[in-house]
Structure 1
Amino acid sequence: MSGPEHAVRLKKLTFRAWHRGMREADLILGPFAEQHLGGMSDAELDEFEALMEIPDTDLYAWIVGQKPVPAEHQSPLFERIRAFRFEARGAVSPERWGG
């Protein structure tokens, strides 16, 4: 999908990712949205949009591994978000330290 409606959707999702309310979540999801939303399929955008509906404390805890990710949210997209947290900070990914 492309066109004005698609551009508006990307802009709204990026804004939501940066303005969740919990700064720690904003600092992961905002940059992720800026870098990756433009290349996502409509299905992935739908999934990302659904993740934006999850309370910050839960979503952040899943991303950083404080709580297990519910089966319905375990997906390649969610794993990309988790991996991005390390890439964005230049830190060692969980695969490299065994976590």
Structure 2
Amino acid sequence: MACGNDRTRGPPLPHIPPVDSEAGSGVPEGEFRRRRGKEASFRPLGVGNAKRGGPSVSALGDRYRRKLRYLTARRATRELEVILERFWARHGATLPDEDLPDLERILSLDDLDLLAILLGQKPLPDGYRRDLLERMR
């Protein structure tokens, strides 16, 4: 008498090659992913590059703004995305170049912490620009 747990073996499954990111084939992760959550090693794009002969923030211009636009649109929670997308729609094109590294630093905060700060449930840590945060609200 057969048990209900008996399973017959079928043909073997075909081999499916892994995707590049799963195989670890040397595809580098982006600068943002490597630095995410590591506040101590954070350096905004373009800051300090002028000393080494690299482009400054103002020279990066549109590329830097596109990066910040992406950082406002791709967040862990939909609520935070809505807040940041509205901020970017109102102020993104008119932000002075000097404010961009400070904005990137704020956007580098953990998503849940940033949402709590924007909702007034947590205070803004020292060293961050309060005026930018007020514009985000």
Deviation at 1:55, TM superposition (A): 0.3
Gaps of 5+ in 1: 83-99
Question: Does residue 135 of structure 2 align to residue 80 of structure 1?
Answer: yes
**More RCO (CA 8 Å, sep 6+):** 1
Cα RMSD between the aligned structures? 1.6
Query: Deviations along 1:44-70, whole A, 9 cap, x unmatched?
Result: 111111111100100110000111222
Paired letter, 1:56:
D
Alpha-carbon contact 2:84-2:136 (below 8 Å) kept: yes
In structure 2, the residue matched to 1:30 is 85
How many residues of Structure 1 are paired with residues of Structure 2 in the alignment?
A: 80
In structure 2, the residue matched to 1:85 is none
> Which of 76, 81, 101 does residue 21 from structure 1 map onto?
76
How far apart are the structure 2 equivalents of 1:75 and 1:63?
Answer: 11
State, as a whole percentage, how many aligned pairs show the same letter. Answer: 31
In structure 1, the residue matched to 2:95 is 40
Deviation at 1:34, TM superposition (A): 2.6
Paired letter, 2:85:
G
Alpha-carbon contact 1:18-1:29 (below 8 Å) kept: yes
Counting helix residues as a fraction of each chain, which structure ranks higher? 1
Q: What TM-score do you get using the length of structure 2 for normalisation?
A: 0.53
Gaps of 5+ in 2: 1-57
Larger radius of gyration: 2
